[in-house]
Chains A and B, each alone.
Chain A
């Protein structure tokens, strides 16, 4: 069992390709009396892109938030690079260094510029040298095609631009896994494309990505594996080609007929 990286800086042992980097086993989650996840199990291999789709209220967002410990689970096990997330003694810093998350509402820090947003966590939390982080942050901002917007405050950026800064901010922590929680749902149609392009490039670079999305065309194009959830369970999963053309379950077929 390779141990989780302990150091606060970027040097860590790479996770082997053959073992699942993220593994969920019989995950249960309830909000009060309402059970939103009823035994979810899935494995994600390194470099894989998986898309979780399903009707609203099917627990997709809850599922993705459980993976980096934002939402605690009641039963089951979630491991990220062998580290158990559902552990009371969880080292949250180590987990969140490995798992980046991007939200539907961007949630950029409005009192900081784009560059400061990207630099904040590595400088303040990981205590990495500022000059080095700045260099990396500028590279990330250019990678998400926002060169020239470094010193702009989030309030003066479009939704798509804000979301790309949010992606760069997450990447600045050099995560091994990226979670995307309906990242294009709050965007204007014309800015959706630029955000999807950024994610596509990220996936092509070999980043392990778990996406909750309503963009079926995008899911079909980038995903290695698609999971369809409804009412807290995984109804069906498979490779996109097979999933979109040859769905077995009637619920999946009904959903696909509505969204495609």
Chain B
């Protein structure tokens, strides 16, 4: 076999370029038109079968329920990102430690978290974490699934933030370290006042990219029947009689929901990337 059916060009799928390539107002407009058309089609179908309410009407009924689920997606994404940022910065700082015993394990953990499928991490965490926590005094407190899933989502992002920090620190010219040292700064003082402040602007665009990816991954939580947007939409369709006509409007609604939230973040990220590229 000399000819390949298709070729995967990995760099096209790297996070930095992925958003850039598809961020365009026309994409958004096209999507909204497609949504409107599907709504019209769905309502036309619904008009044919008089017995049940139209798919559009069904969607409108279930919309608050789906939006309530979407709120959970957002809560999960905020919390997971907060955990990932705090722990990821810690892990990243360990990665640049001069002590081998600190550096080596943190590097291993970073690579493990970055290079595992999210779904696998999700399953591992859901199975590993206990159902409840026993407090002193023999009191049992439930460990809610959505918190477990938040922790699971935080892990791969944490690995990537650790790597963003390491990369940003390494990208600062050695002259900065040297002149800081010449001015009597210790290594940690130089890191805190000279190196890390310069890293922030370099790290913000990739950090925002990971937030967008994290948010887009939260529907995976529906596998564990956590009541987020997608599982609520599925529950809604089920309750409305599981008619095939419901599928397109419901899923397109979900698509628009996530798109409307993520798209401005992607645009903003790209703006910052361009601004910082000019600034440096």
**Chain A residues in contact with chain B, CB under 8 A?**
68, 70, 92-93, 96-97, 100-101, 103, 105, 107-111, 120-121, 124-126, 155, 166, 169-170, 173
Picked from B182, B186, B194, the residue with its CB within 8 Å of the CB of A100 is B182
* Main SS class of interface, B: helix
Task: Report the nearest A residue to B185, measured CB to CB.
Answer: A125
Docked-complex contact B194 and A170, CB < 8 angstroms: no
Chain B residues contacting A173 (CB-CB under 8 Å) are 183-184
The answer to whether A97 and B184 touch (CB under 8 A), given A109-B194, A120-B193, is yes
Give the A-B contact count at a CB cut-off of 8 A.
55
Q: Hey, what's the 0/1 contact readout for B8-51 against A, CB within 8 Å counting as 1?
A: 00000000000000000000000000000000000000000000
Report B155-210 residues with CB < 8 Å from chain A CB.
173, 175-176, 178-186, 189, 193-194, 197-198
Nearest-neighbour CB distance to chain A for B143, whole angstroms, equals 43
Chain B residues contacting A100 (CB-CB under 8 Å) are 182
Task: Report the nearest B residue to A99, measured CB to CB.
Answer: B182
Docked-complex contact B189 and A124, CB < 8 angstroms: yes
Nearest-neighbour CB distance to chain A for B83, whole angstroms, equals 28
Chain B residues contacting A105 (CB-CB under 8 Å) are 173, 175
Docked-complex contact A125 and B198, CB < 8 angstroms: no
Docked-complex contact B182 and A68, CB < 8 angstroms: yes
The answer to whether A125 and B179 touch (CB under 8 A), given A111-B197, A120-B193, is no
Distance, CA A192 to CA B103, complexed state (A) = 44
User: What number of B residues sit within 8 Å (CB to CB) of A?
Assistant: 18
Docked-complex contact A96 and B182, CB < 8 angstroms: yes
Distance, CA A240 to CA B189, complexed state (A) = 42
Chain B residues contacting A121 (CB-CB under 8 Å) are 183-185
Distance, CA A70 to CA B181, complexed state (A) = 7
Nearest-neighbour CB distance to chain A for B86, whole angstroms, equals 23
Docked-complex contact A170 and B182, CB < 8 angstroms: yes
Docked-complex contact A101 and B182, CB < 8 angstroms: yes
Docked-complex contact B198 and A110, CB < 8 angstroms: yes
Report B226-251 residues with CB < 8 Å from chain A CB.
none
Task: Report the nearest A residue to B183, measured CB to CB.
Answer: A121
Distance, CA A29 to CA B59, complexed state (A) = 77
Known: A109-B198, A121-B183, A170-B183. 16 other contacts (CB 8 A): A70-B178, A92-B184, A92-B186, A96-B184, A100-B182, A101-B179, A103-B179, A105-B173, A107-B178, A109-B180, A109-B194, A121-B185, A124-B185, A125-B184, A125-B185, A166-B179
Docked-complex contact B178 and A103, CB < 8 angstroms: yes
Nearest-neighbour CB distance to chain A for B278, whole angstroms, equals 11
Docked-complex contact B182 and A124, CB < 8 angstroms: no
